[in-house]
Every structure is written in C-alpha cells, then in structure tokens.
Structure 1
Amino acid sequence: MSSRPKAKPHFRVSPAVLGPLGIEQLQDPALAVLELIKNSWDADAKRVKIVVDQRKAPGKILVNDDGHGMALAEFKERWLVIGASYKRALEKSEGGRPLIGEKGLGRLASFALGNTITIQSARESGRSFLADVNWEELSSAASLEEYEVKIRRGAVTNGTRVEIHDLKGAWSSDHTEFLVAHAEFLASVPGERFHISFKVDGKAYRVKHALATINRLAEGSLEMRVAPDGTPTIRKCVINGADEKRIVFRDMKSDELDPTLAGTRLSLKFFRRDEAARRLSGVLQRNEVTEVLERYQGIRVFRDGINVPPYGLNRDDWAGLEQQRTSTGGPTLVPGNSQLVGELHVSKRAQPHLVITAGRSGFADQAAVNALAKYVRWTVRALGTARRAEHLGISEANVRVPARIDEGKDRPRTASPQTIRAALTAISRSEVVRANPALRKKLEDASQAITETLGQSEESLRLYAQLASTGIAATSFSHELRAEFDVVSEAIAEVAASSRKPDKELIDLLSTSWGRILAFAALFKVVPVKIRRHRKTMSVSELRSSAETILGLASPDKVTTELTIPAMRLSIVPAEVDSILLNLVSNSVKAVAESTNRESGRIRVRFEAHGNDLAIHVADNGCGISRSVAQIMFEPLEGKFAEGTGMGLPIVRYIAERYKGAAAIVRPPASGFATEFVVTLRNVVQ
C-alpha cells in the first residue's frame, strides 16, 4: 500500500495581521476615505463622488469613480493579494499620472471604515463583478486563505464603486474639514482634471483650489531650485512688482548642501493677511480670503505633484519658520510660516530615499526631512533679503543688501502710548463698536492693557523672542501670537496714520485677535524681565497673582481652571516660576483646543511643599501625550504642537535643573485628566 505524501510545512496568514499592516494606521475615517480617493486617482478617474450618510443607522460611505476599473482577474491577482502592489515598478498610471499608491495596503482603508464592504468594478464599460467582504467573518477565519470572498455578476458599467456599511465610527465636522483640505491638492494638480464631489448627510461640500486668489493677493514670490551639486539657486524673485532676482543672496553653508536633493523645487508666495484683506472691497470677499490664507499658510511638500501629509497642513510649521522669524526680529523682514504659502516639490525618481511611511504620516527618513527644512529656511531668508532690497530700492548685484532695514541708522522707536491710545480710542468709538456693548467693553479692556504694557511693543516682543530662542527663563508663547499681534499692530498703525474711519470690515478683521492679544498683553505685567530676573522672596499672594494671570490664557467660556497654593514662602527667581507656568499652561491650552473637550476643558495648577522642595503640578483634560512623544518632548525642537517652537518644555527642564530638580510627566495622571506634568525645584521653600 502506498503511503500518502506528507504535507510540506508552509506559512499561513492570520486575519489579525491586517490590523498592524494597515487598519490600525488608518483609524481616522477621513484618512481612510482619502486612501480610497487616491486609488481613484491612480485609476485615472476624472470624477469621484463621495457620500457619507449616517442619518440612518448603521450608516454608509460610498466612493464611486469613473476610472479604468478592474477586470475580475485583476481583482483576484491584485486587490486580493495583501501587500502586493503592481504600482511599485511603475512611475506613471495607464493614463500618465504620477502614482500615489506603492505599498499595496491602501485597500485596507475599506476595512477601517466599516464591517461590510461591497466592491463593484468593470473595465471599459464592460460587465461588472461585485465582491462582498464581511470584516467580522473574515477576522474570525482561521487564515486569510480560508475566507471565501463572495463574487457575483453585475450590470454593464465602468469605473469602480466601493460601498461600506455598518460604520465603525461616527463622522464629524472635523473629518469633513480634514478631507476637504487634503482632497483639494489632488483636485489642483497642474494639467490634470480630477473633480471631487463630496456630500455628508445630504449637505454638499466644494473641493477646489484657491491658488488663483493667493497669486492675486501675494505681495512677493520667489522660486528656488537645487542644482546637481546641492547648491540652491534663485530662479525668480518679485517683490511688489519689482524684479529682485539680480541682487546678491547669501550662500548656503557648505555643510548643509545635499546633492541627493538635486532638482528639488520650492516656490513661495508672501502675504500679510490684513494687507490682503484691505485690497478687497466686500465683506464676503474679505472673509473668504482670510479663510483661504489661513487654510493654505505654510510649506507643503509634494512628491511627483501629489501632496504628502502632514507637511504644511493645518498650520504645520515643520521647517521651523516661525522660530527663525522670531530669532531674527522685525527689521530683517524675514517672514514666518503664517505669512507664506509654499510648495516644495520632490520626485520619486530623483529622491528615492524619500519613502512615505505606511501610515501616510510623512517621509520615513527624518534626516532627509531635516535637510529639506534647511533648504526651506535658507530660501525664506533669501525672501527676507529680497524684501529688504525692495524696501531700500536695491535691484542690482553691485549694491550690498543690509542685514536689517535700519542698519546704519538710528532705529526708530515704536509709536508712543499716546498715539496708540488715540488710535484705539477711535476704534472703540466707531459706530460698529458702539452698537455692540460686549465688543466695546472687550476693546476698551484690550486698549487699556495694550497701552499700559506694550508702549514699546516691538522692542518688548523682540526681547521676549530672543529670550525664548536662547532658552533663558522665558516663554515661547510670544511668537505663537505673532500673527494676531501683526494684524492688530498694523491696523492700529493704519488708523493712527490716516483719516480712515474704523469700519465694520476693520473691526471684523480685528475681533478674533483681541481676546488673545489681551491675554498676551497681561503677560507683560507678569514678567517684567528686568525686575523679575533676580532672586527674591515670593509670598503666596505674589505667586497667586502671577499664576492667575497666566491661567487667564484659557478662555473662561470653554475652560475651567483650578489653582491650589498652600501657605509658603519661596526664595526663587520670579521670572523662572513665570516661565515654568507659562510654558506648561500654554501647552495645556493648546492640548484642550485639539481635543474633544475643547468646549469643556479643565486645567489644574497645584503647588506642593515637600520639606524645602517645591513641586509644581499642571494637569489638563486635553488630547493627551503618546508614549513615543513623551520620550522626546523635552528635547529642543521636538514640540507636539504645530504653532509652537518646540522650546517650551526644554526651557522648563532647563530651569528645573538649575534648581537641582527635574521636570517629568506623571504616569498615570490624576483622575479626570489626560496629561499631568510635575516640576520639582530643590531648596526653594523657606
């Protein structure tokens, strides 16, 4: 009797592997839908329709395109093979588009959205097939190979339709905003027609690009390209209509040149938001432009014409431009992230080392990202040089461009408190403000605070910025409000220098900035640097006054604050206590704003005496901190928040170590809080 052949050992794949491969990396439903839109792009679709409907439980999501679709054989050989991507060996789609997908994992986005998926597809208006997948049944199978995908014949059609039912999570307005912002970049690739229609619970949203508006309102533009040896060259530079390409720009440091980035292109548009709004006549136009500039500010990165998140999105200052602007000061005219709309272009062929992570969260090579950031900062400094040249009337290569516009002159002082007070009084007495008592009170309070504390506003702001950038007992909060400060100070200057009446448009432009400016102005009362930089004895009342003012950064309508200080006297440098509190509380304010508790925030500050040692606890119910972020957050420039410098927590640790203490995150935080920090200062309690 012949024996039966023994089965050869082989791997079997558990359905559980689909989690870490892709589903867990696409838990955000908006990001998952974006992956399906990218698949439509790769299929050469010209129109994509997205429908999110959760009006009837359990809800559904539909993504329908008119691309080249799949034949049944292609579905079996490509779509059903996890991790296999025929796109890896290709640079272009069948229709000549740059391909986005390359890992073969984007299809898992469907499973991240809902429990049942139906895919219908056909090639060239042929008879379609329909494939049904049930995630719960698939996940309970012994192996992926043993799960049978149910396939049936469908009608004659073209393109691909993905319908997802039994949604795993709720779709929010934040998801809508995220998807619209990201999809706009696919809808605006030069030379491509890619129309996206988007509807959520019956409401339609427009996906468009506002590049024409940005070009029209830009005060300056500059284009840079990296040469084969890594040298950046300015290809175009126009400031207020003046061609500044011929001026002499400083060379980039030789140790920062990177030939692997040869061919990289960067285009910059510079604008001042208040100046752009003033160029338009209608209120609706102004509001739309303000929204456009806020949405697009920053430097976005594109690979083969396709936007790579998260760079530049949601005000992400990945290149550290606000920190650069803060450290240089106003007279250099070097703009910051909030004043720029930029596009940095790389290519898969020229920069193969720039590989996008599986979770679509940027490039995996952080060293290469840092190299890109250096080119961005150099180019922005070059734009500052061009602005100084235009301001001083320089357009030729034989004339040196000064490092500051006030070089060699007596530097002008800022407007006197009397001039500022007169301008603010004119605003507060306008008809628009008089008609709104609450707004009038708000403006009057802000006017008093500003004129009392910012009489030398630009000089004071620069002083605090320099202290923050060097890490000496100060805060990075000043530069985070630079955009609001610019809007208000320039509007004040306009009213003070002209006969223009403060109209509704001007008030609308200012209104969103007053609240934060008021809190910012109050900080100058808390931290008068020259007075509070020396060690002294602080009483509980002094400590409470300082802490309460800093907690005023939180909006009282949205955040509840708590402060506990036992009876004690401290021998300490007051400015250093201010800096610890200011950095931790400002982080808490931002964490709450980025969380689901943004309307019901909670921040608690608690002082504790342990013998001669002081412990300062700051806790909040904000967005929390992951363990990976916690490992690096005390390192310089590793901040969690896009609008920060990344210097706040390093400054806190620096101060704590000067007192032989430490700064740490408390694990787990106190009950009811998502994050808690503790800073210990040795031998300061008397």
Structure 2
Amino acid sequence: MESRKLSSTSGNQSLRPRARLLKTLGSELISSDKVAVIELVKNSYDADASTVVIRFKGPLCQGKGSIEVWDNGHGMNVDSIQNSWLDIATDIKRKHSKSEKGRRVLGEKGIGRLAAARLGNQLTLITRSSLEDEINLSIDWSQFDRDNAYLDEIEISWESNSPKIFNGLYNTELNMHASEIGMNNPSHGTLIKIDELNHTWTDKDFIELRTALSRLIRPNAESSNLFSETVEEDFKILLLIDDNNSNFEKFSGEIGFSNDFQIPNYKITGFVGSDGRSEINYFNQQTNESELIKEPFISEFSDRSPEVGPFSFEINVWDRDKVSIEENLRISNPGRVSPKVNDLKGFRDTLNDLAGVSIYRDGFRVLPFGEPGDDWLGLDLRRVQNPSMRLSNNQIIGRVMISADLNPGLKDQSNREGLISSGAYDDLQKILLIALNELEQRRFKYRRDNTVKSEKEKGGLFKKFDLSEVRGTFAKNYPHDIKLISLIDKKNKDIEAGVAEVQQVISRYSRLATLGSLIDRVIHDGRTAVTFINQSSRFGENKLKSSKLKDLQEISSAINHFQNVNKQSKILSSLFNQIEPFGGRKRGRPRKIDVAEAIKKSISNLQTTADDFGVLLESDYCSHTTFLDESEIMVVLTNLISNAIYWTAKNQKETERKVFISSRVNDDSSITFIVSDTGPGVPAENRENIFDPYFSTKPDGVGLGLSIVGNIVEDIYSGELALVDDSQYPGATFEATFRRRV
C-alpha cells in the first residue's frame, strides 16, 4: 500500500484493525482456558442444547491434541453463519434475549466464540440446523498473526454439504457414554473442534475444570423457584478424556455435585422482592429445627427500596472441625464406615475447591463469583475482626439466583469476569451479609450452648484430674495393699489442692478477659479514637489554613477541633493504661471530674455521626463531681451511644429517631449513666447473648462493644451493666453503674 503523505492537513479515514486484534481479544477477554471452555458451553446452552459433551483427545500438550465441544442444540444454517457467527460483537442476542425454547440467553456481547482462539491454533466448526444441510467452517488462527495483515484481509472458508455428523444415526465419535446422558443420534447441533492446543493440560487443570463445570448449572431448583418458568432444567454436561499416555481418564464422566455436600450443617434460604420485602428460612441440620425470619432487610432500606431484586438465594454452611465433618459424612453417605483421616482431609480439600458464594443468572453461573480466592463479600476479612462468630469463605457454598430481565442494574463487565460496580451490586452485597448475619447469630448461640452442655456432661474441665476411679479399682483388686491405697489418697488430695489453686488463678485472670481480648479491645476502641483524631485534626488544619489571623472566631473554632484531638488521645492513653499492669507497674488513682462534662464530650464526639443518620441526641444530667477516670467514662458512653445511634437509625420515621443520655446519683453514692433509644429494641431471644464477647446482630459487627463496657464497669469499678425496661422509650435502655474503686 502507498504511504500517506505527511503534508496532508485534513482528511477522512476509517479505522482498519490489524488481524491480530481478534486473537488479542480472545486472550485478553478470556482469562483462562477453563473460562474459554465454559464460554463454549454457554453457547451450547443458548442454542437450546439439552446435552453438551466436552471431549479431550491426547496428547494434551502444547502444539498437539484437541478439544471437541458437541451439543444437540438447534444448530446453525448458512444465514446464521454469515450474519451471526462470523459477525463479531453482533447484537442479535441483545435484541433477541430469549432462545427458541424460551431460555434467557447468556451471551449478549457476541464475543464468546473468541474463546476458541484462546484454546488452540486450529478451529473446525461443524453445525446443522434441523432439516438443512450441514455446514463446515475452518479457521487457522495463525494467519491472524501475519505481518501487516488487516482483519478485512483474512478470509474464512466454509461449505455446505449433506449431513455426515448430525445425520440422526449412531455416531461412534460420541460413543456410548454420550448416548447415556441424552446425546442420542442427534440430527441437529454443533461441533466445535480445536486442534494444536495452546496449553499443556495437567491434573490440576482438569480438577479445576470439573469443579467449575459442576457449579456451572445450579444443582437444584429449591432456592430459585422464582425463576423456574425461565430456566430449562434439562441441561447435562459430559466430560470425556481420551489420552493413552496419561491417567487423565479418571476425570471423565458426567458432571454432577458431590453427595458429601448435599446436607450442610446450617442453611438459610430466602427471597427478596424489588421493594425490599422478604422472608428467609433458617435450618439447623444437627437439631433438625427450622425458623422463618420475616422482613430481615426492611430496616436497612427504611428510606428507599433496594436497587436490586427480585432475587432468591441459598447459603449452605459447614463446620470444619473433625466431629462435625464425621457426622456430616455419616448422614450424607448412609452405610459408610467411620470416616478415616483421608476422608476428613478430602472433605476439607473439596470444600475448599467448592466454597464461595456463586451467582446464577437465569440458571447459569456468572464468573468469577464463588471461584477459589474470589471472596467478593469480604467474608475472610470480616472473620478476622470477629473469629468466634463470623464465618470464613471456605465454610460456605452459596448460590444467588437472579434474572437478567428483572435485575437490569446487574450487568457484566466486558471481560466476563464479574459484574459492573453499581448501586444494585452494592445492595446485593449488603442484603446477603444481613442474611448471613442471621445465620451466624443462630449458629453462634447453638455452638455456645452445645459446648456448655458438652462440658457439663463431661463433668467439667478438671474431671480428669481425679484418682477416685483408680483408687476404687485398686481397693477392689488389692484390698490388703494399704500402703498403695494410702499413697493414691495422698496424691489425690495433692491434685485436688492443685486444681483448687489453678481454679483460683483462672478465676482471677478470667476477669481480665485474657491478653487476647485486651488486644481486641485496643484495636476496637483505638480504631474509633484514631478516626476521631484524624477527622478533628483535618478540620482544625483546614480551619487555620482558610482563616485570617484577625478572625478570632475562626481561630477559636480551630483550637476547639485540636482540643478534641487531645481528648481522643486520652482515650488511647487509657487503653494503654489497661495493658500497663502486665508490666508490673501500679495503677494511679482517678482524678476528680465533673460527670456533666464527660457526657457533653461524649455527645460532641458523636454528634456528626448522629446527624448523618438523622438521629436526635438529647440529654438530661446534673453537674456532679466524682473520682472516676474520664476517658473510661467516655469509652463506656461512646460504645453505648454509638450502638443506640445505629439501631435508632433503623426506625423508619426520622422524626422518631432519638437517643437520650442521662445520669443519676444513687443512694450509695454510685453513679449511673443511662442511654435510651427509640430503635427496635433487643429481641427476647438475644437478651442473654448481647453481653457475650463477639456476639453481634450487626451484619459487620465485631461484638466487643458491650463486652468492653462490661469489663470497665464491672471489673474496674465493681459496678453493673444492665439492659433494663423503660416505658418512656420503646427501644433499648442500658444502665452503666460506676462504684468506687476497690
């Protein structure tokens, strides 16, 4: 071609993509060979196939071997080949979102066929539409790499002939395995054959492929009956591997779901309408108990409807300890002998591979949700903050069922690797975490109660430190050996004395909540204090920068901000003082403070948060001086007021969102701080649990706030933290009573 003159000052010119662009798109938009195979299976699904066979022929190493994808879908005719398959990025599926059988099509961008370029160098397409000729099409992807070749210079050859593959006769190429699952003498369908593989396949690749395929189609309709009218139930996948030089044949077979994971320890299922109204069902396999939970999400969307919905979900949870796994294997596999170590390891390894929360759109899986390492709900980070209550990603197999037509806000990224970030996506995450929190609360209480019961049945922690049973055996068998029996009696008394001493030490140190809990407290309250410090210092700095030196009012405001910084630093100092006794130093005595000032400061620190949530903070207190640590009072009030603001914000009517803070001096000179709110209150079933460390009903709660308050009030000041009934406020009322130090 002639070179264009550089002297031109204007002109018109069309874009001419190089031929290699097509292969580049295939490699860049399709992230792995596993995803490429899945894209081809999706095309078969869109073609209304009831069966797809994926056949590997060895040797499965780079530059050799082949992959075949057979289906018995409606196939293609000449018009479909010319105006659809060869039309890259066609909008036909976008215009016609339903297949001939009524399936909601999965590929709308028209680029899924580029997956073949990712897998191998040569492509052969054989397809036949019912009662028409069979079409053969070939592509040599290497020609797209020619130097200086443009895309419009590459020609694709095809021909139409009488059917040889899809002729309705028995096909030895598919063999008996395919006919067993429904690929029985197809007279229409599509075969895509890819030769000269770009990748050497390994055991690990086939394990990942089988796992991905097993999760591709939802295994049952229990959690998605909302969309049963739009989802074709009959879709089977068969994996065949023919390679005489390897042991890959062990991965052949119909793709299914492991029996070991049909019965979870806990399960929660539910449906969420587009208006946020919903109900969910919780089930505990160990107790065979179920519970209907109505409207768990409505309070989170008091001011608006969620941008996502309707959709349904199912979250299955397994405990990974040895006893739970053994029990699960016995239930899910009747007749199996007692599980061995390999079974336990195999169960955990398989659960690792399957774990995660997957999204299924119109019955078909959306990648990469639920893939290993894809913790899109942030469950592992959430568990780090509260390991006793929260679940990790590797304990969960979850399924979210959505419809493309009913959830237009959930759209694919161009690379088929997730959904575009949007308000609908954010609401989906929020709702699922709320549902998971409902399960976690009930699981936490069950495991705690079960552990307490188990310890009682065992006779407690120190039952094994008792020689009474040994003494009885010797006294029966050797009644005349008085010396030996006397020695056992003496040692038993020594053990009893030692146990009593250990129990005293444990009792003493348990009130300190252990060093681990102390560190948790530093993290919990320290993070809150640091947030205040950062905000106040930033406000103060901005005020000084924007003010004139003569503007006394602005300078005074800036100084006030920095004073708040100083107050928050005192909270950090108090936390460090709590750790100081481990260094052997003696704790100093609190100074005299005004209770009213401590309340004012606590309210001031949380005023911005209250304003953001539309919550009115009211107070009623009298000036009273006492010997208390001001920063400890503020830690108590900050936690109680923060909780009250959070729950009061759940009140649908903003005019009724109020938190009331007050104090009183009791007859014994103790001081009681009262925090009341107009929120939903504490459900009766949770009243005994809210003071336990790590128990939280907030979806992202750590569960340490009330535990920390109780530690300060009860252990340091010999006081009392209580949830009381208050007829004036319909929500929760907490009273924290401080007494003099002992």
Shorter-chain TM-score tier = 0.5 to 0.7
Matched with 1:145 is 152
Q: Give the Cα–Cα distance (whole angstroms) in 2 for the partners of residues 418 and 198 of structure 1.
A: 58
Specify the SS of the correspondent of 1:269: strand
Matched with 2:76 is 70
Q: Give the Cα–Cα distance (whole angstroms) in 2 for the partners of residues 309 and 273 of structure 1.
A: 26
Determine which of 160, 183, 192 is the counterpart of 2:213: 183
Deviation at 1:370, TM superposition (A): 3.2
Amino acid at match of 1:313: E
Deviation at 1:532, TM superposition (A): 13
Determine which of 325, 332, 335 is the counterpart of 2:383: 325
The verdict on how the C-alpha distance between 1:256 and 1:340 changes in structure 2, with shifts beyond 3 A counting, is: farther
Specify the SS of the correspondent of 1:273: coil
Determine which of 311, 326, 335 is the counterpart of 2:391: 335
Determine which of 217, 228, 238 is the counterpart of 1:196: 238
Are 2:34 and 2:209, in contact at CA under 8 Å, matched by a contact in 1? yes
Deviation at 1:115, TM superposition (A): 2.0
Matched with 2:28 is 24
Matched with 2:292 is 245
The correspondence of residues 228-627 of structure 1 with structure 2, limited to 5 A, is 228-238=274-284, 240-245=287-292, 252-254=299-301, 259-274=306-321, 275-279=323-327, 280=330, 281-283=338-340, 286=344, 289-330=347-388, 333-365=389-421, 367-387=423-443
Are 1:252 and 1:378, in contact at CA under 8 Å, matched by a contact in 2? no
Q: Sequence identity of aligned pairs in percent?
A: 24
The verdict on how the C-alpha distance between 1:17 and 1:335 changes in structure 2, with shifts beyond 3 A counting, is: same
Matched with 2:489 is none
Are 1:302 and 1:346, in contact at CA under 8 Å, matched by a contact in 2? yes
Amino acid at match of 2:273: A
Specify the SS of the correspondent of 1:260: coil
1:411-460: CA deviations, max 9, x gaps? Answer: xxxx979989xxxxxxxxxxxxxxxxxxxxxxxxxxxxxxxxxx99x966
Deviation at 1:378, TM superposition (A): 0.8
Q: Give the Cα–Cα distance (whole angstroms) in 1 for the partners of residues 54 and 310 of structure 2.
A: 36
The verdict on how the C-alpha distance between 1:232 and 1:12 changes in structure 2, with shifts beyond 3 A counting, is: same
Q: Give the Cα–Cα distance (whole angstroms) in 1 for the partners of residues 297 and 423 of structure 2.
A: 24
Deviation at 1:352, TM superposition (A): 1.1
Q: Give the Cα–Cα distance (whole angstroms) in 2 for the partners of residues 250 and 107 of structure 1.
A: 41
Specify the SS of the correspondent of 1:18: helix
Are 2:17 and 2:150, in contact at CA under 8 Å, matched by a contact in 1? yes
1:204-224: CA deviations, max 9, x gaps? Answer: 3245333654232x2222123
Determine which of 65, 88, 91 is the counterpart of 1:82: 88
Are 1:210 and 1:292, in contact at CA under 8 Å, matched by a contact in 2? no
Matched with 2:37 is 33
Specify the SS of the correspondent of 1:355: coil
The verdict on how the C-alpha distance between 1:255 and 1:365 changes in structure 2, with shifts beyond 3 A counting, is: farther
1:125-151: CA deviations, max 9, x gaps? Answer: 643121111122234374333322122
> Are residue 221 (structure 1) and residue 221 (structure 2) matched?
no
Matched with 2:169 is none
Q: Give the Cα–Cα distance (whole angstroms) in 2 for the partners of residues 532 and 69 of structure 1.
A: 78
Are 1:34 and 1:183, in contact at CA under 8 Å, matched by a contact in 2? yes
Matched with 2:100 is 94
Deviation at 1:386, TM superposition (A): 2.9
Deviation at 1:317, TM superposition (A): 1.9
Moved more, 248-257 or 129-138: 248-257
Moved more, 221-230 or 281-290: 281-290
TM-score by length of 2: 0.50
Q: Give the Cα–Cα distance (whole angstroms) in 2 for the partners of residues 374 and 227 of structure 1.
A: 14
Q: Give the Cα–Cα distance (whole angstroms) in 2 for the partners of residues 131 and 345 of structure 1.
A: 37
The verdict on how the C-alpha distance between 1:257 and 1:134 changes in structure 2, with shifts beyond 3 A counting, is: same
Q: What are the ranges of 5 or more consecutive residues in structure 2 without an aligned counterpart?
A: 1-10, 167-187, 221-232, 331-337, 453-459, 466-508, 528-577, 584-699, 701-742
Deviation at 1:376, TM superposition (A): 1.6
The correspondence of residues 105-116 of structure 1 with structure 2, limited to 5 A, is 105-116=111-122
The verdict on how the C-alpha distance between 1:257 and 1:273 changes in structure 2, with shifts beyond 3 A counting, is: farther
Q: Give the Cα–Cα distance (whole angstroms) in 2 for the partners of residues 85 and 223 of structure 1.
A: 36
How many pairs were matched up?
422
Are 2:22 and 2:114, in contact at CA under 8 Å, matched by a contact in 1? yes
Matched with 2:59 is 54
Are 1:65 and 1:159, in contact at CA under 8 Å, matched by a contact in 2? yes
Are 2:363 and 2:401, in contact at CA under 8 Å, matched by a contact in 1? yes
Deviation at 1:9, TM superposition (A): 6.3
Q: What are the ranges of 5 or more consecutive residues in structure 1 without an aligned counterpart?
A: 1-6, 394-403, 407-414, 421-454, 473-528, 535-644, 646-686
Q: Give the Cα–Cα distance (whole angstroms) in 1 for the partners of residues 525 and 258 of structure 2.
A: 37
Q: Give the Cα–Cα distance (whole angstroms) in 2 for the partners of residues 132 and 334 of structure 1.
A: 54
The verdict on how the C-alpha distance between 1:248 and 1:356 changes in structure 2, with shifts beyond 3 A counting, is: closer
Deviation at 1:462, TM superposition (A): 5.8
Are 1:36 and 1:106, in contact at CA under 8 Å, matched by a contact in 2? yes
Q: Give the Cα–Cα distance (whole angstroms) in 2 for the partners of residues 256 and 272 of structure 1.
A: 37
Matched with 2:596 is none
Deviation at 1:348, TM superposition (A): 0.6
1:544-591: CA deviations, max 9, x gaps? Answer: xxxxxxxxxxxxxxxxxxxxxxxxxxxxxxxxxxxxxxxxxxxxxxxx
Larger Rg: 2
1:449-482: CA deviations, max 9, x gaps? Answer: xxxxxx99x966666667778897xxxxxxxxxx
The verdict on how the C-alpha distance between 1:165 and 1:256 changes in structure 2, with shifts beyond 3 A counting, is: farther
1:299-333: CA deviations, max 9, x gaps? Answer: 11121121112122115321122333332352xx4
TM-score by length of 1: 0.54
Amino acid at match of 1:118: T
Amino acid at match of 1:74: S
Q: Give the Cα–Cα distance (whole angstroms) in 2 for the partners of residues 248 and 180 of structure 1.
A: 38
Matched with 2:173 is none
Deviation at 1:260, TM superposition (A): 1.7
Specify the SS of the correspondent of 1:259: coil
Amino acid at match of 2:30: L
Matched with 1:522 is none
Q: Give the Cα–Cα distance (whole angstroms) in 2 for the partners of residues 212 and 257 of structure 1.
A: 42
> Are residue 173 (structure 1) and residue 220 (structure 2) matched?
no
Q: Give the Cα–Cα distance (whole angstroms) in 2 for the partners of residues 335 and 360 of structure 1.
A: 28
> Are residue 209 (structure 1) and residue 256 (structure 2) matched?
yes
1:659-683: CA deviations, max 9, x gaps? Answer: xxxxxxxxxxxxxxxxxxxxxxxxx
Amino acid at match of 1:349: D
Q: Give the Cα–Cα distance (whole angstroms) in 1 for the partners of residues 519 and 394 of structure 2.
A: 19
Q: Give the Cα–Cα distance (whole angstroms) in 2 for the partners of residues 221 and 371 of structure 1.
A: 22
The verdict on how the C-alpha distance between 1:83 and 1:250 changes in structure 2, with shifts beyond 3 A counting, is: closer
Specify the SS of the correspondent of 1:369: helix
Q: Give the Cα–Cα distance (whole angstroms) in 1 for the partners of residues 391 and 130 of structure 2.
A: 51
The verdict on how the C-alpha distance between 1:357 and 1:334 changes in structure 2, with shifts beyond 3 A counting, is: same
Q: Give the Cα–Cα distance (whole angstroms) in 1 for the partners of residues 422 and 235 of structure 2.
A: 33
Moved more, 258-267 or 104-113: 258-267
Are 1:315 and 1:338, in contact at CA under 8 Å, matched by a contact in 2? no
The verdict on how the C-alpha distance between 1:262 and 1:27 changes in structure 2, with shifts beyond 3 A counting, is: closer
The verdict on how the C-alpha distance between 1:251 and 1:39 changes in structure 2, with shifts beyond 3 A counting, is: closer
Deviation at 1:109, TM superposition (A): 1.0
